[in-house]
Every structure is written in structure tokens, then in C-alpha cells.
Amino acid sequence: MKKQDLDLYGKMLHALYISKDYRNYEPTTILLKEEDNQYKVLIQTMNKDCPDEVICYKSDENVASNLDENELVQELSEWNWNIDDDFFARLEKGYEIDFMDMRIHYGMWCIINEKGVDGIECKDGLNKYILFCKNSGISVQTIRSTIGHDVKDIYPLYQELNNNYRIICESECGDQAIVLAYNKKAPQPYATWETTKSRKCGYDMGHYFSDYLSAYKDFTSRSHQMLDRYLAVNKMRFKGNKEHER
């Protein structure tokens, strides 16, 4: 993040601190989106004394001056907050989670389990959230140890798709990954791609096949190549460190 974007980030938090109306609120969710080489920030906060009182505000040129009179401040409640429109849709539009309080994760998991996959419209947003949880170590165990409540695991609901191909197998090494995918309606129903664990850079170098055996052989071969590259890079780093120590 660039310095001016960090300044905006800090100004938005400072606006909350100096506010008369919302001084007692604390950030519970922070979403970031990079657009035109700048970051957009969306912050959701909760009243420390009354958790039911929640507001959400966005970045703009006036947010640092007077949050109390800013039109972008939105008061939220259970009756007007929608997990699709107010969260998953934003993830689908390019927002990424920068911070989320464990209490909010617990509430998210409860809502997701209550609705089920069929009850959620923004399934790509759901997948992105579950992937974030996996990469960040947010699990049934961490929620229980932090919040003190049990919750049903949402990981099995994850159905990763790329170009209508469902990811059915993955091989990881460092931050890199190779995936094997299937789409029964495609002329070539099997595919492999290069990607990363976080999927932040998308998918690259697609290979397509008409039968599973050929696709699996390619998946295995590409996984071995990924491992070889990883070992070669680390060998060079180790060699460079040893020479530097001499």
C-alpha cells in the first residue's frame, strides 16, 4: 500500500477517534479495494457498550474532517443488513478483508450455516471468504478458543470455480499451487492451471483435456515441476547465504 493510501487509512481511523457521535465505536471489519492505483477503504464499527449499534463508513475526501456529518456513514442493524449485499457482493467486486474481529467471524459462520449454500446468492463471494479463513487460520478451533462458542465448520461448503470448472484437486508448494478442475458441460471437461494459494493473481497457463487420466498425468507433472522450481530457488538462496557468511 502506498504512503498516501496509508495516510487515508489512518485518517479514517482518526476520524472515528475524534468523532463526538461515534467515539465509543471500535472497528470490527475493514475492507480494502485497489482501484486506479488507489485504495478504497470501507470500515464497519461497533459500539463498545452496545454491540447492536453498528455503523459503516467509506473513504472519501471529507471523511477526515467530520465523521459526524458525513453522508457516507450508514447505521446498520439486523433488519437492514444483508450478508449477500453488504459483504459477499463486495468481495466479488474486488474488496479484500484487511481485518475482521473474531466475533464477526463467528456471526458470519452462524449465518452461513443457517442459510446454507443454496440460500446464498453471491457464491463467489462466499468462496472468497472461506478461502480467506483457510489462509488466515480461522477455523472451528480458533473461533471456539477465542469466542467460547462452538460453530459448525463452513469449510465443506467451499466450491471453488474457475471459468465454470470446479476445482477438484490441488497441489501446493510455498505460495504456489497447481489445480485440477472439472466441468462436465465443457468440450474438454478437465483442466489444470498454475495459481497461488491465496488465488490473488488468478489462474494462469490452462491445459485442457478430454479425459481424466491425461489431465491427472499433467497435474502430477506440473506439480513435480513446481516442486523442482521451489527447491532450485531455495538452493540458490541457501548457497548465496553461505557465500555471504564467508
Residues 111-143 have pLDDT tens digits of: 999 999 889 999 889 989 998 999 899 999 999
Q: What is the pLDDT of residues 164-186, one digit of tens each?
A: 898 999 999 988 999 999 999 99
φ, ψ of residue 209 in degrees (nearest 5): -140, 155
pLDDT of residue 176: 93
Tell me the three cell numbers of residue 59: 473513504
Q: State residue 133 phi and psi, 5-degree precision.
A: -60, -45
The predicted pLDDT at position 158 comes to 86
Given a contact cutoff of 8 angstroms between Cβ atoms, the answer to whether 55 and 67 are in contact is: no
Q: How many CB atoms lie within 10 A of CB 128?
A: 21
Q: Helices (DSSP H) in 49-160: which residue ranges? A: 89-92, 102-115, 123-136, 140-147
> What's 85's DSSP letter?
I
> What is the pLDDT, as a whole number, of residue 60?
61
pLDDT of 159 above 90: no
Q: In what order do the strands lie in the sheet containing 204-209?
A: 161-162, 165-173, 176-182, 190-196, 204-209
How is residue 155 annotated by DSSP?
G
User: Quick one: average pLDDT of 4-29?
Assistant: 78
What residues form DSSP beta bridges with 39?
Answer: 34
Report the alpha-carbon distance of residue 19 to residue 22 in Å, rounded: 5
Q: Which residue has the higher pLDDT, 162 or 70?
A: 162
Mean pLDDT, residues 105-109 taken together = 95
Task: Indicate the average pLDDT of the chain.
Answer: 85
Write out pLDDT tens, residues 93-104: 989 999 999 999
> Greater confidence, 160 or 244?
160
Q: Which amino acid is at 220?
A: T
CA distance 205 to 81: 40
Greater confidence (159 vs 116) lies with 116
Evaluate if residue 242 carries a pLDDT over 80.
no
Alpha-carbon gap, residue 194 to 68, rounded angstroms:
48
Note the pTM of the prediction, 2 decimals: 0.68
Model pLDDT for residues 42-101, shown as the tens digit of each residue: 888 898 898 888 888 877 645 555 676 656 677 776 556 789 988 999 999 989 999 999
Q: How confident is the model at residue 1, as a pLDDT?
A: 47
Query: Per-residue pLDDT tens for 182-238?
Result: 999 999 999 999 999 888 788 999 999 999 999 999 999 999 999 999 999 888 777
